[in-house]
Amino acid sequence: MSYQVLARKWRPRTFEQLVGQPHVVRALSNALREDRLHHAYLFTGTRGVGKTTIARVLAKCLNCETGITAQPCGQCSACREIDEGRFIDLIEVDAASRTRVEDTRDLLENVPYAPTRGRFKVYLVDEVHMLSTHSFNALLKTLEEPPPHVKFLLATTDPQKLPVTVLSRCLQFNLKAMPPEMIQGHLLQLLEREGIQAESAAVMQVARAASGSMRDALSLLDQAIGFGGGVLREAEVLDMLGAISRDHLNRLLEALAEGDARELLAAVDALSEQAPDYGAVLGEVITLLHHLALVQQVPEVADSLPDDPSMLRDLASRLSPEDVQLFYQIALMGRRDLPLAPEPRAGVEMVLLRMLAFRPAEAAQPVAAATQTPSPVPAGKRPPASSPGPEPVSAPASTPSEVPAAPSVPASGSGELDWPQLAASLGLGGIPGQLASHCALLRYDGGELVLGLARQHDNFRTTKAQDKLQEALRRHLGDEVKLTIQVGDAQGNTPAAMAARRDAERQRAAEQSIDQDRWAQGLKDQFDAELIPGSVRPRDRE
């Protein structure tokens, strides 16, 4: 006997064997048990989710020799002939190849005649949206008042193209795409029945590649079995699908977490040896970032995700939630713009480097919005005579009041160590630079430098970042200096906090300058205008 593909061999024959779509199965089963049958059913959904399969099972339920039932016997001649595709009273029509009105009229000519063998004459019209307008018009009258022995089962992937006059004459069931976990579970059962060895991770890759379609999953499974010589291994399935391994993705995220551009480009170089689809690479990065965001907010979710839980927890602890959200948005926009890049690999490299170049502001600062344009002056109104003509409202360079500096910390000798100035002179970027800017000086005795780090910024204290900070400090203070970072005490005197206070002071000074402007005062007096906080910015921030 010739080989039968898995999609045909394991096609469901009853509602009980159907995977997914419980809302459709429940509605149809209840209608069959209570004999509340409609004359026209419309099944919609993406490819491979079970539209024609459900229609054929329904045809068996209507024509089973045991009677109308939600559980056809599968043994009578009607059930067997429907399964084999040769039941004379089940007329299957591919609307994509029979779009002419003449074809529809020929089909409907036999509607008035009683079924030859079955209880009902069932018309199964697949891809019904492909019918022409004239064909729909020819079908309308029959759909509205068909003979009692006729049932119409319509299936389509694009219900928006159907006329509302057709939709209103049908009971509509929307079939849903299946989640990867559901597809994986079904595939594992089939593989066990087939006696085929398979890695669970390899089956999950097939399930994810199917994009919610069980039929696509079974076709890919057939291909994977052939590719692997009767065994499914994750590496071989990834190779077949042209996907990338999670190890490569993890390496990319590790480099992002460390702020290491060299390692990031090296990871892309290693990835390019597989000649991947770079759009799919960004898609996988987006998926992994989504998983990291879930783990950061709900840690116990890690055990239910397809990625390694320990890896997810490690990356989630080393990246701040703000970084994950920013990286996600950058990757999302970069994937959209990737076709505009002169070369896909260069486009992906720029997206990843953009993630390193931009980081969320660590301190809450006033929003630096564009200067508001004054509202138009109503007819008949004029600004106060004392006001000059309209001039661009721009905040002049302000001289901020002195911000209290961090208290000096005595060194071992008579000198003092200015930690903010030292941190700025270290020339560190990425995670090491963030670590330095969020630390405060607690003690320095010439041999040991003790820094305090607030607990909310502990994600910057990675081993690699601390080593780079230690190395930079030894270049400035001498090889004998030892760095110690204590988590929980930063005293609010970190370089980042001081910079935030200076920015806030400049912002307040700019707003005061605009508030006292003669033209602005005239607008307030004449029109009760108000200055929106954060709507102006100092000139040095434009």
Q: What is the pLDDT of residues 297-337, one digit of tens each?
A: 988 888 878 777 888 888 888 888 888 999 999 999 999 99
Domain total of the chain: 4
Alpha helices in 145-179 (DSSP H): 164-167
How many angstroms separate the Cα of 359 from the Cα of each of 284, 321, 329, 397?
21, 11, 12, 27
Q: Is the pTM of this model over 0.75?
A: no
Dist. CA 74–CA 54, nearest whole Å? 15
One domain, residues 472 and 330? no
Residue 94: predicted pLDDT: 87
Low-confidence ranges of the chain (pLDDT < 50): 362-415, 542
Residue 248: predicted pLDDT: 82
For residue 497, is it within any domain?
yes
CB 299 within 8 A of CB 321: no
Contact partners, residue 187, CB within 8 Å, separation at least 6: 203, 206, 207, 217, 218, 221
Longest dimension (CA), the chain: 110
Dist. CA 48–CA 57, nearest whole Å? 15
One domain, residues 221 and 251? no
Beta-strand runs (E) in 34-178: 40-44, 90-94, 121-126, 150-156, 171-174
One domain, residues 126 and 188? no
Q: Which structural domain, as residue segments, surrounds residue 441?
A: 417-542
One domain, residues 15 and 56? yes
Burial class (CB in 10 A: 0-12, 13-18, 19+), 87: buried
CB 442 within 8 A of CB 451: yes
Stretch (H or E) spanning 422: helix 419-425
One domain, residues 353 and 436? no
Q: Which of 317, 341, 357 is the C-terminal boundary of a domain?
A: 357
One domain, residues 18 and 158? yes
For residue 385, is it within any domain?
no
One domain, residues 80 and 38? yes
Look up residue 114 and give its DSSP letter.
P
Query: For 357, what's the count of Cα atoms within 13 Å in the CB-facing half-sphere?
Result: 7
For residue 375, is it within any domain?
no
Residue 271, classed as helix, strand or coil, is helix
CATH number at residue 227: 1.10.8.60
**In 3D, which of 115, 225, 123, 134 has the Cα closest to residue 170?**
123
Dist. CA 470–CA 482, nearest whole Å? 7
Residue 359: predicted pLDDT: 65
Dist. CA 353–CA 341, nearest whole Å? 14
For residue 397, is it within any domain?
no
Look up residue 417 and give its DSSP letter.
E
- The token duo for 123 is 């018309």
Residue 99, classed as helix, strand or coil, is coil
Residue 152: predicted pLDDT: 93
Q: Which of 174, 199, 227 is the C-terminal boundary of a domain?
A: 174
CB 237 within 8 A of CB 228: yes
CATH number at residue 65: 3.40.50.300
Q: Cα 224 to chain center, whole Å? A: 26
One domain, residues 77 and 148? yes
pLDDT tens for 106-146 read 888 888 889 988 899 999 999 999 888 888 888 888 888 88
One domain, residues 336 and 433? no
Dist. CA 16–CA 124, nearest whole Å? 21
Residue 238: predicted pLDDT: 81
Buried b / exposed e along 9-38 (16+ C-beta atoms within 10 A): ebbebbbeebbbbeebbeebbebbeeeebe
Residue 403: predicted pLDDT: 37
Residue 458: predicted pLDDT: 83
- The token duo for 100 is 């002419």
Which residue bears the tokens 């400049």? 506
One domain, residues 23 and 152? yes
Residue 540: predicted pLDDT: 60
CA angle in degrees (0–180, nearest 5) for 78-82-88: 75
Dist. CA 76–CA 224, nearest whole Å? 36
One domain, residues 135 and 205? no
